[in-house]
Amino acid sequence: MEILDREVSHAPIEARSSTLLSRRELIRAALLASAATALGPLFSFSQAIKSGLTPAAQGEDGSRFLSDPNWKPLFFNEHQNATLIALGEVIIPATDTPGAKDALVNRFIDLLLSVQPVDFQKQFTDALTFMDAESQRQFEKNFVNLSAEDQASLLTPWAFARAPSHWTARNKSGEEAPDHAQRNFELLKALIVSAYYNSEIGQKELGWDGEITHGPYEGCEHAAGTHT
Amino acid sequence: MAEDVSKQTYDAIVVGSGATGGWAAKRLSEAGLKVALLEAGRIVTAREFTEHVPLYQLKYRGYTPEIAETRFIQRQCYACMEYNYEWFVNDLENPYSTPADRPFTWQRLRVLGGRSLVWGRHSYRLSDVDFKAASRDGYDVDWPISYADLAPYYDIVERYVGISGFAEKNEMLPDGQFLPPMKMSCGEVRLRESMQKNFKRTLTMGRVAILTQPHNGRAPCHYCGPCERGCMTFSYFSSPFTTVKDAIKTGNCTLITDAVVSHVDMDTSANKAAGVTFVNRTTKETKQVRAKSVVLCAQALESTRILLNSSTREYPKGLGNSSGLLGHNLMDHVVGGGASGTFDDLNVLPNASPPHRPTGIYVIRFRNTPATGKQPHFIRGYGFQGDSMPAFNFNAPGIGADYKKAVKRGTYNVSLGAFGESLARLDNFCEIDPNLKDIWGIPALRISMAHGKNEAAMMRDAGVTAAEMLEAAGAKSIRVTTGVEMPGMAIHEVGTARMGTDPKKSVLNAFSQSHDVSNLMVADGSCFVSSACQNPTLTMMALCVRACDHLVERFKRNEV
């Protein structure tokens, strides 16, 4: 799943008091004013058919579905949800910045999977089941019941590219079997990473300051030939 | 709507309000003609733009099931997103068919402004190497016009639209009327210098229809990034807020939205187009509009569909199709070849609060040029679009705190993707599917197109040349692609009603006027004789203005 990293703007602010305007809001207000002039009186919003607008174009803030205090999973069972929360926190822990749990990564993945095709849903839940199976095999406990150290030690071998071992290279079979475990891990990691970095917390982790515009782009300011 | 459109006789009906339809409406109404501008979709306003909405405010962050259900073809377009998918046609309502072994993706919008709302904005002139390509390599025929015929119209369009870029004095890509260019990154400067030194090839800043200074009442770009979600300052060119607005301001242009045109109506005794019939998108009511001339600007495939659906006893194979060529020679730039890599020694950290430059760089065609001579494996050529910017490294290995750090350290990426010329071929065509209609009851298209050996050889070469140029500039971790993507993916469909001097070998004359029906024009990309490799919209607009000026002259001489 692709990670979209170009999303760095903020919500409309028209309703707030002007004394509370931040720099971001002032910029947006300035942009709106110049837009109103350029638009002129030709087209009015009422001419647009509201039902023809996407929820985003209607101004819906879809993040409220995740922050609902009465949130319940739409797709996962309790154990799957708990396993995913634990996995998220090992892959993207809270450090000096918040981690996957704070970013409600499990809730977004639950919402996303609730509308995905059955085969993709199954791939994901199979991967969660696999984590428990491996955890049982190595530590005789489900993943959620492992210590943080054991959780990390279970996942770490799958988190790096694999070089063929000299042993298997010399072995008769020639090639190593495709690594089912690694594929399961990579699926879980990809969704957790995407859900984390595309959240508001994740954007701030990457250094987003909440402004909608930072222009103009100044480009390379070095002397000719500096880079060659 | 103030006036009853069915009781008027307009001087001209313009079908379609996109890049070309907007120009036709502007040019004709400013010359004093009474114009009816028909758009199949609804009005679009700046209030529904979403360019400043962060991804986390979308319920499914880009993966809404609505797109999978209703835009299962449109989603193949990079610009069709949870933000704006309602601008794109509903694939359930707008079917078309293809042979099973010749897939084609038809990506289109039906709203005021059409694809000009989401276009890539790259704007390049064609040169005489393109217009007279057949004379050089013997394939197919030359255009009936030369660069000198079109240059003044490129000037008109560029001055109005506002194209940022810089002059290169390169015979393959004539310079134009440029606003100051956007800036290149360190990686791009490195690639430009290395390419010039090692290969004598030119990497220039993308010439784009995005303002870098105030222009014709519009504000310059504020570098928020995603133009395809709209622009509240109208800094990139889209027709509703420029040409269409100007047309309406004249008082001579009536905008009729939700008008899904089914066919052109003929005055058979006079052998002239009498108007068009349309179905109201929401009420499904059928109406006619009358006019002294009809200008189709619905996009190549859609304009062709309208003409094929307008057959009469005199034109049984489609209106204006005495040549039998209508629908044939469908072209779309071939894409799929290219390379990417990283400049590991450029130590610039990615930044989530940067100015977002909404465009990239362009590598000017260097194959089969007068300067470089003949290539052994293919004719014509390709250009590259691309960019080089630091980016977060979400693919970093590992877990935990170290992974979080590695993501932020990022990689300095560089990539080049080719757009190659698609050769005109008779067996790449569209026709009416006798068994398929859209939800307004209008017969739908069957599109049959495949790229050929020449396009495949070109994409292989593009992968190789991109990789060697990246390598020479010091890029690491280079990955090459040499495949050919499905036709339609470039969204540059042209050529289904080619222009020419011989009515037996072309559908339109050199002014985009039907050889068969003198008051019928097709003023979008349908008229292209060859696709060249440059993004076509600027040339479509210039050809449209030229065609409209010719129509105005004929009105003045009372010839219409």
Q: Which of B444, B465, B486 is the last residue of a domain?
A: B486
Alpha helices in chain A (DSSP H): 23-39, 64-67, 78-91, 105-114, 118-139, 148-155, 166-170, 180-197, 200-205
Assess whether pLDDT exceeds 70 at residue B340.
yes
Within a domain: B131: no
Could you list the residue range(s) of the whole structural domain that residue B14 is in?
A: 1-95+109-120+237-322+493-560
- Hey, is the C-beta of A41 within 8 angstroms of any chain B C-beta? no
Among A9-23, A165-179, B218-232, which stretch is predicted with the lowest mean pLDDT?
A9-23
DSSP structure class, residue B508: B
Pair (B400, B521) in one structural domain: no
Q: What percentage of chain A reaches a pLDDT higher than 70? A: 71
Do B356 and B457 sit in the same domain of this protein? yes
How far is Cα B483 from Cα B500, in angstroms, rounded to an integer? Answer: 33
CB contact under 8 A, B186 and A193: no
- CB-based burial label for B61 (10 Å; 0-12, 13-18, 19+): buried
Q: How near does any CA of chain A get to the CA of B99, in Å?
A: 27
Domain annotation covers residue B104: no
Q: What is the pLDDT of residue A166?
A: 65
Alpha-carbon B344 to chain mean position: 35
Q: Which pairs with CB-CB distance under 8 Å and at least 24 residues apart come from B269-276?
A: B271/B314, B271/B516, B271/B517, B271/B518, B272/B517, B272/B518, B272/B519, B273/B319, B273/B517, B273/B519, B273/B520, B275/B9, B275/B13, B276/B13, B276/B15, B276/B38, B276/B306
Asked whether the beta carbons of residue B46 and residue A39 sit closer than 8 angstroms, the reply is yes
Q: Are residues B315 and B259 in the same domain?
A: yes
Question: Is the link from the previous residue into B220 a cis peptide, with omega within 30 of 0?
Answer: no
Cα B272 to the chain's mean position, in Å?
Answer: 30
Q: Are the CB atoms for B352 and B221 separated by under 8 Å? A: no
As given in the structure block, the two tokens for residue B443 are 């017969």
Instruction: Confirm whether B435 is domain-assigned.
Output: no
Nearest to B122 by CA among B210, B17, B203: B210
| B210 and B350, same domain (yes or no) | yes
Q: How many CA atoms lie within 13 A of A198 on its CB side?
A: 27
Q: In the Cβ-directed half-sphere of B251, how many Cα atoms lie within 13 Å?
A: 0
pLDDT at residue B225 tops 80: yes
| pLDDT at residue A21, rounded to an integer | 40
Q: What is the mean pLDDT of residues A44-56?
A: 63
Taking an 8 Å cut-off on Cβ atoms, the answer to whether A214 and B186 are in contact is no
Pairing of strands B286-291, B361-363: unpaired
Q: Cβ of B46 and A217 within 8 Å?
A: no
Domain count, chain B: 2
Handedness of CA A196, A199, A201, A204 (dihedral sign): positive
Q: What local confidence, expressed as pLDDT, does residue A73 receive? A: 97
% of chain A at pLDDT higher than 90: 62
- Best interface-test mutation with A: which of B1, B26, B60, B402 has the largest number of A CBs within 10 A? B60
Q: In sequence order, what are the beta bridge partners of B265?
A: B275
Is residue B303 domain-shared with residue B362, that is, in the same domain?
no
Domain termination site, one of B486, B511, B543: B486
B482 lies in the same domain as B374: yes
- The one-letter amino acid at B36: A
Contacts of B399 in chain A (CB under 8 A): 90-92, 152, 155-156, 159, 189
Q: Is this structure's pTM higher than 0.90?
A: yes
Q: In sequence order, which ranges of B200-315 are alpha helices (DSSP H)? A: 243-249, 300-308
Mutate to test the interface with A, among B64, B224, B250 (most CBs of A within 10 A): B224
Smallest Cβ–Cβ distance between B232 and the set A35, A44, A195 belongs to A35
CATH number at residue B296: 3.50.50.60
What would the mean pLDDT of B502-510 be, rounded to a whole number?
98
- How buried is residue A82: exposed, middle or buried, by Cβ count under 10 Å (0-12/13-18/19+)? middle
What is the pLDDT confidence band of residue B281, given thresholds at 50, 70 and 90? very high
pLDDT tens-place string over residues B364-395:
999 999 999 999 999 999 999 999 999 999 99
Q: How confident is the model at residue A29 (pLDDT cuts 50, 70, 90)?
A: low
pLDDT value of position A74: 97
Residue B378, domain member (yes or no): yes
Q: Is the pLDDT of residue A45 over 60?
A: no
Residue A37 has pLDDT above 80, yes or no: no
User: Which of B62, B186, B241 is opposite residue A227, by nearest beta carbon?
Assistant: B186
Tell me the nearest-neighbour CA distance from A165 into chain B, angstroms: 19
Residue A164 clears pLDDT 70, i.e. is over it: no
Those residues with Cβ within 8 angstroms of residue A89's Cβ, 6 or more apart along the chain or in another chain: A99, A100, A101
Are B357 and B387 members of one domain?
yes
Assess whether B242 and B229 both reside in one domain: no
What φ, ψ does residue B278 adopt, rounded to 5°?
-135, 160
Q: Which of B166, B212, B407 to mutate to test the interface with A (most CBs of A within 10 A)?
A: B407
Q: Pick the residue from chain A with its C-alpha nearest to B110.
A: A52
